[in-house]
Amino acid sequence: AQRVTQPEKLLSVFKGAPVELKCNYSYSGSPELFWYVQYSRQRLQLLLRHISRESIKGFTADLNKGETSFHLKKPFAQEEDSAMYYCALSGRGFNKFYFGSGTKLNVKP
Amino acid sequence: DADVTQTPRNRITKTGKRIMLECSQTKGHDRMYWYRQDPGLGLQLIYYSFDVKDINKGEISDGYSVSRQAQAKFSLSLESAIPNQTALYFCATSAAGGFNEQFFGPGTRLTVL
């Protein structure tokens, strides 16, 4: 069965510190992985997707098929990064998205 | 700007009442989705529709029904609301084909007393 696991409900770091939000998935085919972000009082929006291999707002994520992971990383966290982050999975042949339970990132000054 | 809107934004109702949540989009997308968000559980898919004549159940469709009145409108109904349906409900849209980005509405906070 398809599944997305985000083991941390809350992650607190200080401004300027590195941050890594963990995401592990279970999927039998070729997955497509995404990170969505929800800032306070805003709607969910796409942060990045693995097929684009892009860096958005300093965040990157690498798909590791061996470890079935798609961790989100940023070398130097900023206070404006504080938000709820959701890892999501979709797969070829079906266009449903499966979301993880989310990690709340709190960047302290 | 093309957008996804939801009405109402907040609703308090009583057990047993029928409730309809509406979603409209001006993005021209064929695909529309309804999700439910509960604390600690993330987003769970209730129903999705790939076009006006296509309706599919998601992970947690029991107790819910939907109607795709037009390409731009996708409504979610709770025929007889119960307290454990208290949650934040999101509508989302995406373009057809591939692994396209989902665009979310602002959410509807529903409380069932």
pLDDT of residue B98: 63
Q: What is the band of A2 on the pLDDT scale with cuts at 50, 70, 90?
A: confident
Q: Please give the average per-residue pLDDT across A75-83, as a whole number.
A: 96
Asked if residue B113 has pLDDT above 80, the reply is yes
Q: Please give the average per-residue pLDDT across A64-91, as a whole number.
A: 93
| CA–CA gap between residue A40 and residue B91 (Å, rounded) | 18
- The reply to whether residue B45 touches residue A95, judged by beta carbons under 8 angstroms, is no
Q: What is the band of A93 on the pLDDT scale with cuts at 50, 70, 90?
A: low
* CB contacts, 8 Å: B50 with chain A: 95
Among chain A residues, CA nearest to B40: A101
Report yes or no: A64 and A72 within 8 Å, Cβ to Cβ. no
Q: Lowest-pLDDT range, A5-14, B8-17, B64-73, B90-99?
A: B90-99
Which residues fall within 8 angstroms of residue A3, CB to CB, at 6 or more apart?
A: A25, A26, A27, A89, A98
Q: How far is A5 from chain B (nearest CA, A)?
A: 10
Which residues fall within 8 angstroms of residue B31, CB to CB, at 6 or more apart?
A: A95, B48, B49, B50, B51, B93, B94, B95, B96
- The answer to whether the Cα torsion of B58, B60, B65, B69 is positive or negative is negative
pLDDT of residue A95: 65
